Amino acid sequence: MADSSVCIAIKYDVAFMLRGFRVGIEGPTTTLDLTSAQMTGTAKNQIGLAWDFAVSNLALALSHHSTNLRPHSGFDRKLRSAYMVLDLKASSSPAISSPATSPGAMASQVLRLRVSRMHAVMSPNSIGELGDLIDHVQVQQHHYI
């Protein structure tokens, strides 16, 4: 009896764009937040699985509560006591197989990562603020355990 199973291959090409996000950890005097101005990306399986994404103005920043931060405002370096900002692109695609590769061998993926901009600043008083935030988070964690 012959095997009558049918394999259906679905081809797809997906694109996305996310315009800004902010995730934060709030302490008694400071907030540590991760923000981004824009994220874009694609995923497709035309010739194996391939994807790429780009992030602009990805920022990890520490800000004092006395500063007036609006939720949807842009990243303002003057209001942060410490920050690191970067732009990056990442992609993955199937490796080009050589004639010496055996037909049953697993296809490997190539990962490319490009950081086109990185800028970091930390003021001396932010070291104490960061320490206070870490202490606060550790105390809160012990309350939930």
User: Locate tokens 């790429």: which residue?
Assistant: 52
Which secondary structure element, helix H or strand E, spans residue 53, and what is its range?
Answer: strand 50-64
Is residue 1 assigned to a domain?
A: no
Q: Number of structural domains, the chain? A: 1
Best-predicted range by mean pLDDT (8-12, 55-59, 93-97) = 55-59
With b for 16 or more beta-carbon neighbours within 10 A and e for fewer, the 71-85 pattern comes to eeeebeeeebbbbeb
Q: Are 137 and 25 in contact (CB under 8 A)?
A: yes
Which pTM was predicted? 0.63
Is residue 117 a contact partner of residue 92, using CB atoms and an 8 Å limit?
Answer: no
In a domain, 26, yes or no: yes
**7 lies in some domain:** no
DSSP symbol at 105: S
Judge whether 48 and 107 are in contact, CB under 8 Å: yes
Indicate if the pLDDT at residue 66 is higher than 70.
no
Res. 70: pLDDT tops 60? no
Query: Would 6 be classed as within a structural domain?
Result: no
Per the domain annotation, does 2 fall within a domain? no
**pLDDT exceeds 80 at position 5:** no
50 in Cβ contact with 92 (< 8 Å): yes
Give the model's confidence band at 118: pLDDT under 50 very low, under 70 low, under 90 confident, else very high. Answer: very high
- For residue 115, the tally of other CB atoms under 10 A from its CB is 11
- Output 99 or 12, whichever has higher pLDDT: 12
Summary mean pLDDT of the chain: 80
**Per-residue confidence (pLDDT) for residue 41, from 0 to 100:** 92
121 closest CA partner among 52, 44, 63, 73? 63
In a domain, 66, yes or no: yes
Share of the chain above pLDDT 90, in %: 17
pLDDT at residue number 107: 61
Q: Would you state the structure tokens that stand for residue 138, as one six-digit string?
A: 């550790």
Asked whether residue 55 is assigned to any structural domain, the reply reads yes
Q: Is residue 5 part of a domain?
A: no
Confidence of residue 132 (pLDDT cuts 50, 70, 90): confident
- pLDDT at position 91: 92
The residue segments making up the domain with residue 118 are 13-70+77-95+105-144
26: left (phi over 0), alpha (psi -120 to 50) or beta: beta
